[in-house]
Chains A and B, each alone.
Chain A
């Protein structure tokens, strides 16, 4: 392997590596705009120039291959001057409207200017070339052509990652700008990644625009529950409000994050988020409603026997919550009509990230099924359609997923757990709210069998509790408690029943995710 020195430090790197990669490995930071580790190299911005001994001119670190005996310097006066010149050049027509720019605070132009520029502008503001300030670029993006530094990261993303090719550099020299088809936008499933990789405030997220100043945001490592991929994410929030989800790149799961996944936080503040229970269409505090639910269960079990109560697991719920569901059925109600069978076809759908399985925890259910058994889905549907079931306890989306195969549900009472009113596409006389996975911890098993954990980034609405605790309380009211009253009891049960003691420590700890940001 070639051995080289960078600023006097020696490193050996595989053949074909670039100076920038070698520097990165040594912990020497070389400023860059167009280079992005997950995109093909373009070498257009010249921000990464370094001095290489025995070469006449400065070389770009991102595209220069290392060679044995190479001596690189990143801190000479020539390099410093080149960086300053590149910055001055990039800022010639830049509007510098940082006060109203969403990127401010995480802008590579701001940061590098402070580190390497600090020059006085020689261009009067009136002489700058003006461009369009807010062009809608698809469902999720806005393009400010004035702020663009033409690094072409966005173009390469659409060309090489999504292969949808929506973007191009139109025109040439000082007349060039990022362009797309008139009346069209960036319409792929990963468009918001462009807001991340754009080093400046040219592409910004329409959803996040003007919502928060980035330096106020707190970051919590977590897991996306949008599909079976189990992408690692960072939840950005402030004062109890989630403002955006960002990818937390992890070679085991994801580099990017899909647009649908990014929007999953919307349920938290959607107008129809349930923060109260709904009993017979009237609002009720969650606590007293639990007693009502317990009463429904007792009533059905007494009148038609415990077997008349069907209990459904849900691939949308965490291991914790499903474990409580299984315990409620087998330990408390003592019914055999438990169904944990929700598996469906899995695998990456588009060659990038999005999984064919749009639920996050079908594999978690499999783990529990191995322990608790239960009916397979068709058997349960048969039971319900035969009229022998007198009460269904289920999470809303899981029951929705069976609706096509079920006959009329209108005369079977239900106890439904739901995050939002829109989760329900049927009527229920007893709907109980629960804490989302932005508000409580929960384990999920992704399509590869990786067990990961969400983190509580913000607090749930007052009185709203994790689903497993809701069920635990209901079981106490029925007089046959499942005895999982706190997190300690829950994790003990989880390691004992669901995962086996040996598996638990292997869980990826959020926060300890090698949280290299995709912004790079």
Chain B
């Protein structure tokens, strides 16, 4: 199925192309726009973007795979990102991650069957002072404990049901 870049993203690409002297510079902001819409970047989207910018597909793929924050698989509604870097690790992140894996019955990197949660371990979120940290999509949840993760899951489920 051919991928169509949305009108909104196309407009944004055109705007950026005028600002940057090199079209490669448009790659990352354009990818962000695309990810905002679908939650992830499918292979066909890389193709379409390459074609639009007249950059080889391989270049787009190199960028997408370099930055771990570009998702290459469909994501759950809530993306749980457990920081596993040093500060968070010392503060118990490993136990929390295991707890979440058990609770959600998925492994790190997987998505629950109902499409609600995707669980990832990520590098330092830049919030070491409040370790351990879990980011849910773009919101930080700080000074986490195992009990607090249970509450967090319940809240997120409730949020989903109320929509």
A residues whose Cβ falls under 8 Å from a Cβ of B: 155, 158-159, 164-172, 179-182
Please indicate the chain A residues that have their CB under 8 angstroms from the CB of B43 in the complex: 182
Please indicate the chain A residues that have their CB under 8 angstroms from the CB of B66 in the complex: 169, 171-172
B61 touches A170 (CB 8 A): yes
Shortest CB distance A154–B (Å):
11
A165 touches B59 (CB 8 A): yes
Shortest CB distance B160–A (Å):
32
Docked CA distance A417–B59 (Å): 50
Specify the chain B residue showing the minimal Cβ separation from A175: B65
Please indicate the chain B residues that have their CB under 8 angstroms from the CB of A171 in the complex: 65-66
13 A-B contact pairs sorted by A residue (CB < 8 Å): A158-B58, A165-B55, A165-B58, A168-B61, A169-B66, A170-B61, A170-B62, A170-B65, A179-B58, A181-B47, A181-B57, A181-B58, A182-B43
B61 touches A181 (CB 8 A): yes
Docked CA distance A181–B51 (Å): 14
Please indicate the chain A residues that have their CB under 8 angstroms from the CB of B47 in the complex: 181
- Tell me if B56 is interfacial: C-beta within 8 Å of chain A: yes
Docked CA distance A167–B60 (Å): 11
Please indicate the chain A residues that have their CB under 8 angstroms from the CB of B68 in the complex: 172
Please indicate the chain B residues that have their CB under 8 angstroms from the CB of A181 in the complex: 47, 57-58, 61
Docked CA distance A179–B65 (Å): 10
Please indicate the chain B residues that have their CB under 8 angstroms from the CB of A159 in the complex: 56
A167 touches B65 (CB 8 A): no
Known: A171-B66, A172-B66. A179 touches B61 (CB 8 A): yes
Partner among A164, A169, A182 whose Cβ is within 8 Å of the Cβ of B62 = A169
**Range class of the B interface residue count:** 10 to 19
Which 10 pairs show the lowest CB-CB distances between chains A and B? Answer: A165-B56, A168-B62, A168-B58, A170-B65, A171-B65, A172-B66, A181-B57, A165-B58, A168-B61, A167-B58
Tell me the total A-B contact number using a CB cutoff of 8 A.
Answer: 37
Docked CA distance A299–B110 (Å): 85
Please indicate the chain B residues that have their CB under 8 angstroms from the CB of A167 in the complex: 58
Partner among B55, B56, B65 whose Cβ is within 8 Å of the Cβ of A166 = B56
Shortest CB distance A181–B (Å):
5
Shortest CB distance B125–A (Å):
18
Specify the chain A residue showing the minimal Cβ separation from B47: A181
Please indicate the chain A residues that have their CB under 8 angstroms from the CB of B55 in the complex: 165
Q: Mark B38-77, 1 if CB is under 8 A from A, else 0.
A: 0000010001000000011111011001101000000000
Specify the chain A residue showing the minimal Cβ separation from B60: A168
Please indicate the chain B residues that have their CB under 8 angstroms from the CB of A182 in the complex: 43
Specify the chain A residue showing the minimal Cβ separation from B62: A168
Please indicate the chain A residues that have their CB under 8 angstroms from the CB of B62 in the complex: 168-170, 179
Shortest CB distance B85–A (Å):
14
Shortest CB distance B27–A (Å):
12
Shortest CB distance A332–B (Å):
58
Please indicate the chain B residues that have their CB under 8 angstroms from the CB of A168 in the complex: 56, 58-59, 61-62
Docked CA distance A115–B29 (Å): 47
In this complex, the member of B55, B59, B66 whose beta carbon has the largest number of chain A beta carbons within 10 angstroms is: B66
Shortest CB distance B21–A (Å):
18
Docked CA distance A169–B47 (Å): 16
Docked CA distance A168–B55 (Å): 12
Docked CA distance A172–B43 (Å): 18
Docked CA distance A167–B66 (Å): 14
Give me 12 other A-B pairs in contact (C-beta within 8 A), A169-B62, A181-B58 excluded. Answer: A165-B58, A166-B56, A168-B58, A168-B59, A168-B62, A169-B66, A170-B62, A172-B66, A172-B68, A179-B58, A181-B47, A181-B57
Specify the chain B residue showing the minimal Cβ separation from A181: B57
Docked CA distance A155–B58 (Å): 9
Please indicate the chain B residues that have their CB under 8 angstroms from the CB of A170 in the complex: 61-62, 65
In this complex, the member of B43, B56, B57, B68 whose beta carbon has the largest number of chain A beta carbons within 10 angstroms is: B56
Please indicate the chain A residues that have their CB under 8 angstroms from the CB of B56 in the complex: 159, 164-166, 168
Docked CA distance A171–B43 (Å): 15
Specify the chain B residue showing the minimal Cβ separation from A172: B66
Docked CA distance A155–B56 (Å): 12
Specify the chain B residue showing the minimal Cβ separation from A177: B65
Shortest CB distance B83–A (Å):
18
Please indicate the chain A residues that have their CB under 8 angstroms from the CB of B57 in the complex: 165, 181
Shortest CB distance B62–A (Å):
4
Please indicate the chain A residues that have their CB under 8 angstroms from the CB of B59 in the complex: 165, 168
Docked CA distance A165–B62 (Å): 11
Docked CA distance A466–B147 (Å): 89
Please indicate the chain B residues that have their CB under 8 angstroms from the CB of A166 in the complex: 56, 58
Shortest CB distance B47–A (Å):
8
Specify the chain B residue showing the minimal Cβ separation from A167: B58
Please indicate the chain B residues that have their CB under 8 angstroms from the CB of A155 in the complex: 58
Interface residues in B68-95 by Cβ distance below 8 A to A read 68
Shortest CB distance B100–A (Å):
23
B65 touches A180 (CB 8 A): no
In this complex, the member of B58, B61, B66 whose beta carbon has the largest number of chain A beta carbons within 10 angstroms is: B58
Docked CA distance A221–B41 (Å): 51
Specify the chain B residue showing the minimal Cβ separation from A182: B43
Q: Mark B94-132, 1 if CB is under 8 A from A, else 0.
A: 000000000000000000000000000000000000000
Shortest CB distance A394–B (Å):
46
Please indicate the chain B residues that have their CB under 8 angstroms from the CB of A179 in the complex: 58, 61-62, 65
Please indicate the chain B residues that have their CB under 8 angstroms from the CB of A164 in the complex: 56
In this complex, the member of B43, B55, B62 whose beta carbon has the largest number of chain A beta carbons within 10 angstroms is: B62
Docked CA distance A170–B59 (Å): 9
Docked CA distance A169–B58 (Å): 8
Specify the chain B residue showing the minimal Cβ separation from A163: B56
Docked CA distance A158–B58 (Å): 10
Docked CA distance A290–B84 (Å): 83
Specify the chain A residue showing the minimal Cβ separation from B57: A181
Specify the chain A residue showing the minimal Cβ separation from B61: A168
